[in-house]
Amino acid sequence: MATIHFKGTPVHTHGELPTVGSRAPDFRLVRNDLADVSLADFAGKRKVLSIFPSLDTSVCLASARRFNAEAQAHPDVWVLLISADLPFAQRRVCQAEGLDRVVPLSMMRSRQFAKDYGVLLVDGPLEGITARAVLVLDETDTVRHAQLVDEIAAEPDYAAALAAL
């Protein structure tokens, strides 16, 4: 269990974020066409996992925009936007914002991803959805960068994540 903050108030996660050097857990998430995907679907490529509560918030949307812009300089990297949003909402926001260099993925069928990655909030007003975190995985799904953002309402350290690529 990790302690982070939501607008200054302590909240807790289920488990811990995978550590640098560890192998990323497999996952089952949902694309915006309602197809299930797993980590294996992105095999052989470097990946940025941008995990956040909802694209329907200003900070999450700002983060999605930033990673979308950065993805242009890294065409060989998959940037995965992972949230509890329904795939329909993810698609609508990505289309409206021109987020075409990222892959939105939903936890709509299960919260197991959030548990396995140590980002499921277990208390506070956002209980049941995710904390904000960024992981960078190499081609073998080894974690090269991991940040659980201490304040959910703050953006992640983009420079550190990009340096890990």
DSSP states along 39-92? GGGGTTSEEEEEE-S-TTSHHHHHHHHHHHHHHTT-TTEEEEEEESS-HHHHHH
Residues facing 3 on adjacent strands: 12
Tens-place pLDDT, residues 39-58: 999 999 999 999 999 999 99
The tokens for 82 are 């992972």
Residue 94 among the catalytic residues: no
Q: Per the residue annotation, which of 11, 24, 49, 60 is the catalytic one?
A: 60
The answer to whether 81 touches 90, Cβ cutoff 8 Å, is yes
pTM above 0.85, yes or no: yes
Q: What is the pLDDT of residue 144?
A: 98
DSSP character for 155?
A: -
Q: What is the pLDDT of residue 55?
A: 94
Q: What is the pLDDT of residue 118?
A: 97
Per-position pLDDT tens, the chain of length 165: 999 999 999 999 999 999 999 999 999 999 999 999 999 999 999 999 999 999 999 999 999 999 999 998 998 999 999 999 999 999 999 999 999 999 999 999 999 999 999 999 999 999 999 999 999 999 999 999 999 999 999 999 999 999 999
Please give the Cα distance from 134 to 156 (Å, whole number).
7
Please give the Cα distance from 67 to 30 (Å, whole number).
20
Q: Which fold is adopted by the domain 3-163?
A: Glutaredoxin (3.40.30)
Helices in 82-165 by DSSP H: which ranges? 87-97, 112-116, 158-163
Buried b (16+ CB within 10 A) or exposed e, 43-52: eeebbbbbbb
The answer to whether 148 touches 156, Cβ cutoff 8 Å, is no
Q: What is the pLDDT of residue 141?
A: 97
